[in-house]
Amino acid sequence: MKKVNWMVVIAGAFVGVAALVLTLLGNPANMGFCIACFLRDIAGGIGLHSAEKVQYIRPEIIGLVLGACIMALAKGEFRAKAGSSPATRFVLGAFVMIGALAFLGCPLRMVLRLGGGDLNALIGMLGFALGIFVGVQFLKRGFSLRRNYTMGRPEGGILPALMVGLLILFLAVPTLFHLSETGPGSQHASFWIALGLALVAGALAQRARLCMAGGIRDSIMFQDFKLLYGFIAIFLVALIGNLAFGTFKLGFELQPIAHSSHLWNALGMVLVGWGSVLLGGCPLRQLILAGEGNGDSAITVFGMIAGAAFAHNFGLAGNADSLNEAGELVVGGISSAGKVAVLLGIAVLLVISILNMPQKEKAVQKN
């Protein structure tokens, strides 16, 4: 057993507690944090899609990026770097988002849903782990998006600066934005509390390198379980909190903002897991890396926002389970277009994985 990295445990536990608090204060159930859902809400808030129920300027995203940025600056770890296949990362980010919205949550929300008793998240996690396993096979054989390069500091500050601008604009002229009156987008905790908790979570995640995909990836590649402890800490805190507050509900059907279409929960998360390994981190990690100056991660975040807009403009996102007027269960899931998009995403990841394997001469040189 390798040494426990307590920083990762503390960061994970804090994210779990913050998620519980934000849910109690108004965020949707099992959605104290969800990077995919919140980027989707921001995409709607700035008018990139017109799904009226999922539009809001989520301070959690702003806080995570700025918290990581402040901590990186304070510790001398802010480094402007970019240039590692940016267009490919944009596309990967978009498909990771499409996969996450098919499942109805990013890997972080998957863990929070699991802690709330949502067994669909267990199916999602199997798909996520399978996607990571496939991605690791390509990594082991030399997959690479090429190296990044040192940039001027302004390049590294692009996403944090945009977040500051969004924050100021939202506080100064909120009428500029589309804000949901019903649905998940209308459910939110107090803006300032959410911003404050996310700032701390972002700072801790930067110190701990918290990553939902990294834990499983490192376990498979190196039998190194350090990052996995963060994943486990979030789950345990969410589980204990939900049991304590009476919000734990075990089962598959009618879980909050979730569907029980198992195949598409799994395949959506295969897309997320595989894409996250190719990108070098889950959606949460991309926000944190962008906060500490990584322009490639900023491009990935832009890709995720574009993917969210596509998902809602073309009806690709999942629909939650519901009851009809007769009180019968209507299993949610994704539309035919959504299924095509998830399968297309997996095909695109396969092509990107193959095309970015080492060139023949370099592979020979290695052996």
Question: Measured from the CB atom, is 21 or 139 closer to other proteins?
Answer: 139
Q: Among the candidate windows 9-17, 210-218, 263-271, 300-308, which touches other proteins by CB under 8 A?
A: 210-218
Q: Does 139 bind other proteins (CB under 8 A)?
A: yes
Question: Can you tell me whether residue 117 is helix, strand or coil?
Answer: coil
Q: Would you give the DSSP letter of residue 323?
A: E
Residue 245 is a binding residue for other proteins (CB under 8 A): no
User: Is the distance from CB of 94 to CB of 342 less than 8 angstroms?
Assistant: no
Check residue 276 for interaction with other proteins (CB under 8 A): no
Residue whose CB is less far from other proteins, 169 or 200: 200
Alpha-carbon distances, residue 61 vs 27, 129, 283 (angstroms): 14, 25, 11
What letter represents residue 141's amino acid?
A: R
Which residues are within 8 A (CB) of 36 and not within 5 positions of it... i.e. 6 or more apart? Answer: 97, 100, 101, 105, 106, 109, 283, 304, 308
Does 73 bind other proteins (CB under 8 A)? Our answer is no
Told to check if 211 binds other proteins by CB under 8 A, we report yes
Q: Is 367 in the site for other proteins (CB under 8 A)?
A: yes
Question: Is residue 157 close enough to count as binding other proteins by CB under 8 A?
Answer: no
Torsion 189-190-195-196 (CA) sign? negative
Contact partners, residue 250, CB within 8 Å, separation at least 6: 117, 119
- Cβ proximity to other proteins, 185 vs 273, nearer residue: 273
Residue 288 CA to chain centroid, in angstroms?
Answer: 11
Query: Which one, 150 or 322, has the nearer CB to other proteins?
Result: 150
What is the pattern of x (binds other proteins, CB under 8 A) and - over residues 297-336?
----------------------------------------
Asked if 35 contacts 283 with a C-beta cutoff of 8 angstroms, the reply is yes
Is 358 one of the binding residues for other proteins (CB under 8 A)?
yes
# binding residues, other proteins (CB under 8 A): 35
Using the rule CB under 8 A, which residue among 226, 259, 262, 312 binds other proteins? 226
Question: Alpha-carbon distance 297 to 83, whole Å?
Answer: 10
Residue 90 and residue 300 in contact, taking contact as beta carbons nearer than 8 Å: yes
Q: Which of 23, 120, 206, 265 is the binder for other proteins (CB under 8 A)?
A: 206
Residue 286 as a binder of other proteins (CB under 8 A): the answer is: no
The verdict on 292 binding other proteins (CB under 8 A) reads yes
Q: How far apart are CA 212 and CA 233, in angstroms?
A: 11
- Shorter beta-carbon distance to other proteins: residue 336 or 365: 365
Tokens of 163: 């977040």
Asked whether position 109 contacts other proteins by CB under 8 A, the answer is no
Q: Specify whether the CB–CB gap between 204 and 10 falls below 8 A.
A: yes
354 binds other proteins (CB under 8 A): no
Q: Which of 171, 222, 251, 329 binds other proteins (CB under 8 A)?
A: 222
Region near other proteins per CB under 8 A, out of 40-48, 98-106, 135-143, 340-348: 135-143
**By the 8 A CB rule, do 143 and 20 touch?**
no
> Distance (Å, rounded) from C-alpha 225 to C-alpha 219?
5
In angstroms, give the least distance from the CB of 1 to other proteins.
16
Q: Does 137 bind other proteins (CB under 8 A)?
A: no
Instruction: Considering only the stretches 25-33, 185-193, 207-215, 301-309, report the one whose residues sit in contact with other proteins under the rule CB under 8 A.
Output: 207-215
Min separation Cβ 77 and other proteins, Å: 4
143 interacts with other proteins by CB under 8 A: yes
Q: What is the dihedral of CA 217, 218, 219, 221, to 10 degrees?
A: 80
User: Of 13-21, 182-190, 213-221, 306-314, which part binds other proteins (CB under 8 A)?
Assistant: 213-221
Residues in Cβ contact with 26 at an 8 Å cutoff, skipping those fewer than 6 apart:
187, 188, 189, 190
User: At which residue do the structure tokens 């490192």 appear?
Assistant: 218
Task: Give the residues lining the site for other proteins (CB under 8 A).
Answer: 5, 7, 72, 75, 77, 139-140, 142-148, 150, 206, 209, 211, 214, 218, 221-222, 224, 226-227, 280-281, 285, 289, 292, 358, 362, 365-367
